[in-house]
Amino acid sequence: MDIVDILLSASFWAAAVRIASPLIFATMGELICERAGILNLGIEGIMVIGAFAGWMTVYMGFGLWSGVCVAMASGMLFGLLHGTLTVPFGLSQHVVGLGITLLATSSAYYIYRLALPAVSSPPRIVPFKPFEIPVLSQIPIFGQAIFNQTPLTYLAFGVVVITAFVLYRTPLGLALRSAGDNPAAVEAQGLSVTALRMGAVIVGSGLMAVGGAFLTMSAFDSFFFEMVNGRGWICIALVVFGAWRPGKALLGALLFAAFDALQIRLQQTELGALVPYQVFLMIPYVLSILALILMSRRAEVPAALMIPYNRGER
């Protein structure tokens, strides 16, 4: 029974958590944007620019954490652009988001070529190393999976806790969720919908970029074209899957990552010799669609999602 062996191996679960990490960052980023009422389709491109900016910073000789900060800043910059176009100007969030994705992706490739005109294979950096947490990492199977990861993975879990706390336990979170549900109610209380939504898009985009940076600075050690490979779009689905709740979205990210880790291992079994490997590649996506259909039917969508708010208009 190959599949039972796989599910009982610590390395499978460790891989699942590793694959989930960038998704967790970016999903939390998207969730914050959407909770404030802004659909951020710039996510895919922002992950690319984050992956590039973080890696480039380290390649130029700065520390790993500086790389994370620069990646975050690059994402916030594109978030600022996205927010300016969609919040005060009230432009279509779909068009702006796709535009941001194209712009951020091509900017990353362009700067890469400017900086490294002559290289054929991209240079490597020394990425984050796993940090084993004593005692806890000795728990069978899950100890190694959860407590022997890189600091960025721990940070990802921290971001989920902080996001949930801010959204549900602070006045800021209350105002943010209200801005995504009925912005007129927020304005009537003397708060600025513009500031709240801009803030959410900027911070959310910063998190997406850190998710991208995880790929070049923790999962791998270099920057390739196409390396984000649709992860941003997956995160948008994960937000829906999680019904706009941080905890559920985290579960969704882990579930998707587990399927992904599983399909890689299934390819190496006897079954893998019979079935074309593309079928295995499809598994996480097919299962995601099924889960999405089952899970999101009763979700409470933020009522003002994708609706621009114009002050003084009724």
Partner 1 sequence: MTNKTEAQDIVLRLNGITKTFGDLIANDAISFDLRRGEVIALLGENGAGKTTLMNILFGHYTADAGTIEAFGTALPAGATGAALKAGLGMVHQHFALVNNLTVQDNIVLGTAPLWSLGIGRKAARTRIKQLSDDFGLSVDPNAKVGSLSVGERQRVEILKALYRDARILILDEPTAVLTPQESDALFDTLQKAVQLGLSVIFISHKLHEVMAISDRVIVLRHGKIVGQASTSDTSAHDLAELMVGQEIVKPVPSDASPGETLFSMHGVFAHPKGQRTGVRNINLDLRAGQILGLAGVSGNGQGVLADLLSGQTVPDRGDMRLGGQGVSSWSPRAALAADIGRIPEDRHTTGSIAEFSLTENVILERYRDPEISKAGWMRWSAAESLAKDVIDRFDVRCPGPDARIRLLSGGNMQKLILGRALEGGPRIILANQPVRGLDIGAVTYVQNRLIAARDAGAAILLISEDLDEILSLADVIRVMSDGRLSPEFARGSITPIELGKWMAGEGFDHAA
- Contacts with partner 1 by CB under 8 A lie at 169-172, 174-175, 177-178, 181-182, 184-191, 300, 302-303, 311-312, 314
Which of 118, 188 has the CB closer to partner 1? 188
Amino acid identity for residue 210 in this structure: V
Which of 287, 305 has the CB closer to partner 1? 305
Which of 130, 173 has the CB closer to partner 1? 173
Enumerate residues 6+ apart whose C-beta is below 8 A from 105.
Answer: 44, 45, 48, 49
> Smallest distance from the beta carbon of 22 to partner 1, in angstroms?
29
Which of 82, 177 has the CB closer to partner 1? 177
Which of 7, 243 has the CB closer to partner 1? 243
> Smallest distance from the beta carbon of 182 to partner 1, in angstroms?
5
DSSP the chain: -HHHHHHH-HHHHHHHHHHHHHHHHHHHHHHHHHHTT---TTHHHHHHHHHHHHHHHHHTT--HHHHHHHHHHHHHHHHHHHHHHHTTS---HHHHHHHHHHHHHHHHHHHHHHH-SS-SSPPP---PPPEEPTTGGGSTTHHHHHHEE-HHHHHHHHHHHHHHHHHHHSHHHHHHHHHHH-HHHHHHTT--HHHHHHHHHHHHHHHHHHHHHHIIIII-SS--TT-STTHHHHHHHHHHHTTT-HHHHHHHHHHHHHHHHHHHHHTTSHHHHHS-HHHHHHHHHHHHHHHHHHHGGG----TTTT----TT--
> Smallest distance from the beta carbon of 310 to partner 1, in angstroms?
12
> Smallest distance from the beta carbon of 171 to partner 1, in angstroms?
4
Residue appearing with tokens 């390819």: 267
> Smallest distance from the beta carbon of 202 to partner 1, in angstroms?
15
Which of 297, 314 has the CB closer to partner 1? 314
Which of 131, 168 has the CB closer to partner 1? 168
> Smallest distance from the beta carbon of 183 to partner 1, in angstroms?
9
Instruction: Please give the Cα distance from 130 to 126 (Å, whole number).
Output: 12
Q: In the Cβ-directed half-sphere of 218, how many Cα atoms lie within 13 Å?
A: 28
Which of 129, 311 has the CB closer to partner 1? 311
> Smallest distance from the beta carbon of 311 to partner 1, in angstroms?
7
> Smallest distance from the beta carbon of 36 to partner 1, in angstroms?
13
